[in-house]
Amino acid sequence: MTSILTKLAEEKSATDLQLLSRDSYRWIEDKISELKRTSSIPASLAKENSRQASRFRLGQMYFFYYDPKGKSDLPYYDRFPLVIMLEKYQDGFLGLNLHYLPLKYRVAFLSKLVSLAVFSAENEIKRVRATYDILNATRRFKEFRPCLKRYLLPHIRSRILEVQPNEWEIATHLPIHQFKKASPKEVWQDSMNEIKKA
């Protein structure tokens, strides 16, 4: 079974739109508005065997279900994060959960991150060459602050679902955040306040 994400990425590719162009943005917005009645996107993604990864790789984007340690002490958290991995640790990793940004800022931040991408010989994005030190060194990437999260491997509650670089733009638009203990509006307001202080 092909997921909605894959179908949209293939459709978008067929339209030959440029990454994050105005027409591309409008096309995705139209498609996403059609999906707002659909609540089965994560289940659809999980059914794709080719998307399931055995491990995380630096600079790649992933979905997974997560049950954070000490969640009772957290003001809120995202059960289905969309994460770009920055650093590996023995018990987990540091990543950027793009769901913590409102859509407009998420799209703009992804565009900035693409400027750090490593490209293949065919000029296709392979991964993002970002680290905490690179992002923290300049105000240009200040949107990273509310997105920065530490994930522990024992608290991942699903298979790891990899998002291919040609799907990144689509994935950032999907309305599949699963915030617990706070509304998306409250989470995003906190994120904007943190960015303004940076």
User: How high is the mean pLDDT of the chain?
Assistant: 84
Residue 156's domain comprises 51-197
Residue 38: what pLDDT?
47
Residue 32 located in a structural domain:
no
CA-closest candidate to residue 96, choices 60, 140, 149: 149
Number of domains in the chain: 1
Greater confidence (174 vs 188) lies with 188
Residue 184 located in a structural domain:
yes
Residue 21 located in a structural domain:
no
Residue 57 located in a structural domain:
yes
Cβ contacts of residue 122 below 8 Å, gap of 6+?
none
Give residue-wise pLDDT tens across range 86-111: 999 999 999 999 999 998 899 899 99
Residue 84 located in a structural domain:
yes
Residue 4 located in a structural domain:
no
Residue 31 located in a structural domain:
no
Q: What percentage of residues in the chain have a pLDDT greater than 90?
A: 55
- Residue whose entry in the numeric block shows the structure tokens 């491997």: 153
Residue 132: what pLDDT?
96
Residue 113 predicted with pLDDT over 80 = yes
Residue 33 located in a structural domain:
no
- Model confidence pTM above 0.75: yes
